[in-house]
Structure 1
Amino acid sequence: MKAFYLTHPQVEIEPERPVPEWRLSDGGRQRVDAMLGKTWLRSVGCIVSSAELKAVETAALIAAYLRVAVEIDPEMGENDRSATGFLQPDEFEAAADRFFAEPDKSWQGWERAVDAADRIETAVRRVLDRPQPVPTLLVGHGGVGTLLKCRIGGRPISRREDQPAGGGNLFAFGIASFELLCDWTPMETFEGVDHAG
């Protein structure tokens, strides 16, 4: 039985709005649409999303296609960066480098990477701990998704484990084994994994 962790694709950057309220861009929606016909997706019986709007929008598009409900779990949100608010792209990339390079430290008031890793792992384990597990799609964010992938893969926290730029990538892991089954793959080219988890 497999779970899939999907990061939301491209968003409309709106500096005047809090980042958790950013929405998918037209390009992001098109990427979700391009994934909907994939064979692997038909196995999904449960969708759980972060409460952030861009993740909820991603999950809702997929849920409407599959005709499944979306569960919202605020604990699956991105690492808390509200202390700094919006950062210009070059500033953000430098901050993200520090976030991953010094996981035990808070950069400018950001949630520490070790704390975000604990939070996302606890949330995902709780979500998947069901009497009758079903293939589950988790919809979230690149930062905490990378931290989760590091935990599942038994790897140290590192930005080398981060998804390719632009978002809209996923990885799969076994629900029972909590074993990583593949690395980040763009959502529109992912074709599933052959071996059971």
Structure 2
Amino acid sequence: MRNVKSIAFIISSAALLAACSSPVKVTEPAPVVESKPTDTTPQADNTRSVAPVETKSLDPLDDPQGVLAQRSVYFDFDSYVVREDGKSVVSNHAGYLTKNTSRNILVQGNTDERGGAEYNLALGQKRAEAVKRSLVALGVSDAQVEAVSLGKEKPKATGSNEEAWAQNRRADIVYK
């Protein structure tokens, strides 16, 4: 019985090995693939071509550290006269707008929470118009600037103290 098992094992091993082998003719030559030789000699310096580097100019409005990043003009209590510290903000934006006549802005006049709704809307409009007049006086086209009042509806700071009120008495320059 042992011989039968041994013979069966040998036959099955031989069959397994025969199934795994593939016929390869050793007498056939390997196929040759022809390729064109590449020129590895360096080119002379006068024949090189270098493509120019194109740089995209950065819009000054996108520079968070630039002078156009500041877009609020602040006012004194119950006033719509552009203060000295706001004139540079107006001047910087006027310079940009005169060079970029396709750009338009919205000047939003704001007030603090004190005063009635009607009074604050009127004061906010006067503040927005004051900034608009300053921009137009510096050469900006009247058609590029729209002035609106938000009154006390869009505070920059919360609180009922002078610090919060001072931040809310402003006109914001918003680019469209």
What range is the shorter-chain TM-score in?
A: 0.3 to 0.5
| Greater C-alpha Rg | 2
Larger RCO, structures 1/2 (Cα 8 Å, 6+ apart): 1
Give the TM-score of the pair, scaled to structure 2: 0.33
